[in-house]
Structure 1
Amino acid sequence: MKQGLSLRVSQHLALTPQLQQSIRLLQLSTLELGQEIQQMLDDNPFLEVQVEDVGEEFGVAAADARAPDEGEHEAAYEGSTASMETASTSSAESETPDFGEDQAPNWEGDGTTETVPDDGEWGGEAPAARRNAGEDDEVDATDLARGNESLQAWLHRQALALRLSELDRVALRYLIESLNDDGYLEERLEDIAASLAPDDLEQQEELVHRFTVALRLLQNLDPPGVGARNLAECLMLQLRAMQEATPGDEVCPFAIKVCQQPMDLLAKRDVKRLAQLCGGSDAQVKSAITMITRLEPKPGRRFVDAERNIIVPDVIVTQVGRGARANFRVQLNPDVVPRLRVHDVYAGALKAHRGEGHQALQQRLQEARWFIKNIQQRFDTILRVSSAIVERQRNFFIHGELAMRPLVLREIADELGLHESTISRVTTAKYMATPFGTFELKYFFGSALGTETGGNASSTAVRALIKQFVAAENAKKPLSDSQISEMLKEQGIECARRTVAKYREALRIAPANLRKEL
């Protein structure tokens, strides 16, 4: 093997720690950003929350050293985006060599947050998000559900009124705790017994017997249908409870027969086939189906302590004026904009005293400064993109979703001098409060469908039309996808039947045969 030396010139792109942090903060949701800020507050002693009521949204000015420059960045969050411009990054920064895993990130810098207009180096598109309630004296299940009492607690309360042996009480408690959020018992009794006594068959048989008795008790508790192993059993338990309450009802017994048939026939509302299997008339099947549709397929639904995820918008759009002269003010939600600053006392002490560990502390100080500036840049970018969206979708903010126009990420990216991936990150998990409700920023982007006049219609507007057509249809003769397609053509919109079906499914609208009123 012959050895030699050679000289080769090459170029490569390296993301600095500052830019990496800026990218990560940009794609975080409001909740994730709050967690990131809390983590940074815990880790970095130079960072603190600005508690006093001052005019500026960020304590960025305090990051530069002694005294904060009051109001330096206040104007950026007044809702005006005319002065928002993206400057170019210095060539020296773009040529920063990549650091190894064993080398700590270097947060030294000149304190700027400028990025190149074409930020294609930001990468590809970002991907498109039990409380223990107190006791209540009320005995109504609905009121208890509103009080956030769990299904298990409600069932345990009823079980206290039963006179049971200790073993049966324990078995009933075990089954209650084994229910899922919908009130179903997903595990087989044999599997539960095998898990409790894996090596003793005789004990398993005894446990199965105990659990069988406990299951009968459980299925007689409120709400009706609880403890069922499948949907058919859940419906039949509710029908039997109705039959006991109204012994003379003739529909309940036949509805139980219908539930004993394959569930896919009931889902398809195959009246003819169900009438043959149950030995009844079409009218009886229709009456039974009508009764079944009034039942609750998930008995535990009203007890589920589903966290009410109230969406906090990142941007608020308010209308100024009316009619054709209406203008829209775009501003950041002050509730989601953090107020951070560099701790003046610690920063001053570090500058006055140079000793052991000074360099490491200086790096943490610079890290705090960059973190504040990157957060400000994140909100600046969100505000700029939101303002561009409002300008492009002005008709939506006046007339609603029927006036939505086609819009793609590239249009906003070209207008703001950013990369498509940046727009994708900004519009993911970021929300805008509008006069028509709160929407994710991605909602305002939609593909185009051709019209007879040669123009384009937004897919969002077409979905809104489909929703209107279905809402106004005759329940006994619902519109098919083909009929909806023809109605759209009458409106001048070319939309194939398959496209209508796709939009209908996206809107969670059932097919015509399932929407038909019996």
Structure 2
Amino acid sequence: MEIDYGLDLTQSQNLVMTTKLMQSLKILSMSTLELESEIKRQAEENPIIEIETKNDERQVDWEKYIKDIQKHTYKDKNEFAYNIDNEVNFENMIKSTQNLYDYLKNQIGYYKIDKDERKVCEYIIDSLDENGYLNAQNEEIIIEKLKIDSSIYNKCKEYVQLLEPNGVGGNNLEECLLIQLRNLDVKDKLLEQIIKEDLNSIGSRKIKLICKKYNISENQCMDYVQIIKNLDPKPGKIYNLNDVSYIKPDVIIKKVNDDFIIIANEFNDINIQINSFYEKILNNKNSDKEAKEFVKDRLDGALSLIKNIQNRKCTTIKIANSILNKQKDFFEKGLDYIKPMKMQEVADELELHQSTISRGVNGKYMLTPFGMFEFKYFFSNGLETKGTEDVSAISIKKFIRDTIKNEDKSKPLSDEKIKVLLNDQGINMARRTVAKYREELGILPSSKRKTLISK
């Protein structure tokens, strides 16, 4: 065998994972709160960067530093740019001073209720304590203060109890936990009774006492205990007024003049600025050369951060716009009309890699006319139907949940029967798939639902 030694010249393409590229991918996959934390961290490490809130009136001219940013800005015709003269004012939708109370009021703003009811709801929200509880003694005070009928008050209180975080608006721990079960569509009379009467026994680990009281097995009792432990006893506590950690929407979908627009969250809480002290160093001819190099290096890092944030926004808007176009029926009519959609479809449309779409939807949320939804919510596989279009798994789950909700409680529907009902709707599905979706919804099988009713 002859061995030939020589030099060959070949040309190939390779992706080099630079620090800047890694930062770009990392920022793209961040949620809004993670991005804000990253900006704060960068500001601590880079003296060039200063961060300020909306209330800080100081303005800095960025033009000399980031002239090229506009070249990379994606502007879609559906994106609504904030302007104080615009009919839809972004500041009226997302408060600059954010806390639990503003967060709840912001959600109420999207309910289709009249002005008087909204006023009552906001008064109730302002009466909540830091844990999200509503003192029972305040109810009579609110009714008397607002001069309203108790039926109107109770109606508005129910609106508040539907808001996130799940469980707010209860008068005590028991009611708080029951609200969470109701909002999760968990209907279990025995579980509700245990919450009403036996929380102290659970706290004291008197499991055998509970088993004897309700004539249930220890395993069943422990299942109930675990469900209760997974509920939040103080839903408002996580909303520290000085360092809020709740979900913020990256985009808001709003209907204006019979058309939908996308309003981008511009991260109003934190603005990045360049420290003017270092600007003087760069402009001073007598500045030390090493000092100038240091400032230029840090300035480059600051600009990379700004560009990556801008790219994140552009990608988020593109994906949101694609979702809006593909899910128009959902935004018009609601959950029943969501369609199956895959990330690869969006990737092909936007001419991006699927991994980019995956990062772009990670931890991103949009506020719609029907509530807050994670971007990932809109991506699901289609199920075969007898018609021309597939149906999303989300729609199937809603059908199963609604069907069980409206069933004859004395004769709960089996998974096989639900499968037949789906087939009658033109949806081909196996019984085991029905069982899988039912379990994912946290709904017990028909035999246990019947047992619970009999008890």
TM-score, normalised via structure 2 length: 0.63
1:232 to 204, 208, 220: 208
Aligned to 1:422: 356
**RMSD, aligned CA:** 4.0
CA–CA distance in 2 between the matches of 1:318 and 1:427? 19
Aligned to 1:239: none
CA contact (8 A) 2:254 2:260 kept: yes
Q: Cα distance, 1:305 vs. partner?
A: 7.5
Q: Cα distance, 1:455 vs. partner?
A: 2.4
CA–CA distance in 2 between the matches of 1:386 and 1:304? 30
Residue 316 of structure 2 is aligned to residue 386 of structure 1: no
Q: Cα distance, 1:307 vs. partner?
A: 1.9
Equivalent position amino acid for 1:360 in 2: F
Aligned to 1:463: 397
Once the two structures are superposed, what CA deviation does each residue of 1:431-480 show, in whole Å capped at 9, x if it has no partner? 01001110100001110111112421111111111111111111111111
CA contact (8 A) 1:447 1:459 kept: yes
Identity of aligned residues (%): 32
| Structure 1 residues 46 and 340, CA gap change in structure 2 (3 angstroms) | same
CA–CA distance in 2 between the matches of 1:386 and 1:475? 41
Residues 25-36 of structure 1: pairs in structure 2 closer than 5 A: 25-36=27-38
Aligned to 2:63: 61
Once the two structures are superposed, what CA deviation does each residue of 1:352-411 show, in whole Å capped at 9, x if it has no partner? 234234323211111111111111111111011101101110000111111111100011
Aligned to 2:102: none
Q: Structure 1: any 5+ residue segments left out of the alignment?
A: 84-144, 150-181, 183-221, 237-254, 269-292
Aligned to 1:307: 238
CA contact (8 A) 1:49 1:339 kept: yes
Q: Cα distance, 1:5 vs. partner?
A: 7.4
Equivalent position amino acid for 2:397 in 1: R
Residues 137-152 of structure 1: pairs in structure 2 closer than 5 A: 148=131
| Structure 1 residues 310 and 51, CA gap change in structure 2 (3 angstroms) | closer
2:298 to 364, 368, 378: 364
Once the two structures are superposed, what CA deviation does each residue of 1:237-265 show, in whole Å capped at 9, x if it has no partner? xxxxxxxxxxxxxxxxxx53825xx3347
**Alignment size in residue pairs:** 329
| Structure 1 residues 318 and 75, CA gap change in structure 2 (3 angstroms) | farther
CA–CA distance in 2 between the matches of 1:492 and 1:509? 24
Whose radius of gyration is greater, 1 or 2?
Answer: 1
Once the two structures are superposed, what CA deviation does each residue of 1:146-179 show, in whole Å capped at 9, x if it has no partner? 6659xxxxxxxxxxxxxxxxxxxxxxxxxxxxxx
Q: Cα distance, 1:501 vs. partner?
A: 1.2
CA–CA distance in 1 between the matches of 2:361 and 2:49? 28
Aligned to 1:133: none
CA–CA distance in 2 between the matches of 1:348 and 1:385? 41
CA contact (8 A) 2:60 2:274 kept: no
Once the two structures are superposed, what CA deviation does each residue of 1:60-96 show, in whole Å capped at 9, x if it has no partner? 63524xxx89x9699967873599xxxxxxxxxxxxx
Q: Structure 2: any 5+ residue segments left out of the alignment?
A: 82-127, 133-172, 174-197, 240-244
Q: Cα distance, 1:310 vs. partner?
A: 3.5
Once the two structures are superposed, what CA deviation does each residue of 1:248-307 show, in whole Å capped at 9, x if it has no partner? xxxxxxx53825xx3347799xxxxxxxxxxxxxxxxxxxxxxxx99x966996468752
Residues 179-258 of structure 1: pairs in structure 2 closer than 5 A: 224-229=200-205, 231-233=207-209, 235=210, 255-256=212-213, 258=215
Equivalent position amino acid for 2:402 in 1: Q
CA–CA distance in 1 between the matches of 2:349 and 2:76? 21
Q: Cα distance, 1:483 vs. partner?
A: 0.8
> Which secondary structure does the structure 2 equivalent of 1:356 belong to?
helix
CA–CA distance in 2 between the matches of 1:256 and 1:52? 57
CA contact (8 A) 1:316 1:432 kept: yes
1:333 to 262, 265, 268: 265
Q: Cα distance, 1:347 vs. partner?
A: 2.4
Equivalent position amino acid for 1:80 in 2: N
CA–CA distance in 2 between the matches of 1:361 and 1:329? 41
Residue 361 of structure 2 is aligned to residue 406 of structure 1: no
CA–CA distance in 2 between the matches of 1:378 and 1:334? 11
Residue 429 of structure 2 is aligned to residue 453 of structure 1: no
> Which secondary structure does the structure 2 equivalent of 1:460 belong to?
helix
Q: Cα distance, 1:229 vs. partner?
A: 3.4
CA–CA distance in 2 between the matches of 1:54 and 1:438? 29
Q: Cα distance, 1:510 vs. partner?
A: 1.4
